[in-house]
């Protein structure tokens, strides 16, 4: 594995909550440029207490409002597109942020705010 860089540490320090690699089925509802409604069944790639990185074929714009439905819990949450990333096949990586922080939306127990990987005891090989 590669070495952790100071950029990696500073990026993690800026995050408001820990990220968890988690694939969950979701339904995304939004609007096309002409105002017509769009929906897409897709999945999360990474989740955190403030949003997620999702795979999305639907065309969205930075700042666009979406409605997410967690298909396991049936809960819904409004969010904003905050990142447009690389394409992966027909889908693009899209970062979304909840309008209101909702850490329980993903039904995952996130580590406390003061937890960091550097504070964990290391296992000797």
Q: Using the structure block, give the residue that is written with the tokens 């993903």.
A: 106
| Architecture (CATH level 2) of domain 24-106 | Roll (2.30)
Write down the pLDDT at residue 44: 94
What is the DSSP code (8-state) at residue 70?
A: E
Helix (H, G, I), strand (E, B) or coil at 82: strand
- 39 or 113, greater pLDDT: 39
pLDDT exceeds cutoff 90 at 68: yes
User: Residues 19-52: pLDDT tens digits?
Assistant: 778 899 999 999 988 889 999 999 999 998 899 9
Pairwise CA distance, residues 42 & 25, whole Å = 6
So what's the pLDDT on residue 37? Answer: 95
Q: With bands split at pLDDT 50, 70 and 90, how would you rate the model's confidence at 1?
A: very low
Kindly list the domain boundaries of the chain, sorted by start residue: 24-106
**Sequential DSSP letters for 12-38:** HHH-SS--EE---EEEEEEE-TTS-EE
What does the chain come to in residues? 125
Least trusted range by pLDDT, from 15-19, 30-34, 56-60, 89-93: 15-19
Q: How confident is the model at residue 61 (pLDDT cuts 50, 70, 90)?
A: very high
Q: What is the CA radius of gyration of the chain?
A: 16
| Mean pLDDT, all residues of the chain | 80
């Amino acid at each position: 594995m590669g070495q952790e860089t100071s950029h990696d540490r500073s990026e993690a320090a800026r995050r408001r909550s820990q990220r968890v690699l988690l694939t969950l089925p979701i339904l995304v509802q939004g609007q096309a440029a002409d105002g017509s409604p769009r929906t897409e069944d897709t999945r999360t790639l990474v989740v955190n207490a403030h949003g997620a990185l999702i795979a999305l074929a639907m065309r969205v714009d930075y700042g666009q409002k979406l409605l997410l439905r967690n298909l396991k819990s049936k809960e819904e949450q409004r969010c904003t597109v905050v990142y447009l990333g690389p394409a992966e096949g027909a889908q693009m990586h899209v970062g979304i942020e909840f309008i209101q922080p909702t850490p329980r939306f993903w039904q995952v127990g996130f580590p406390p705010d003061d937890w960091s990987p550097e504070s964990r005891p290391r296992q000797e090989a």
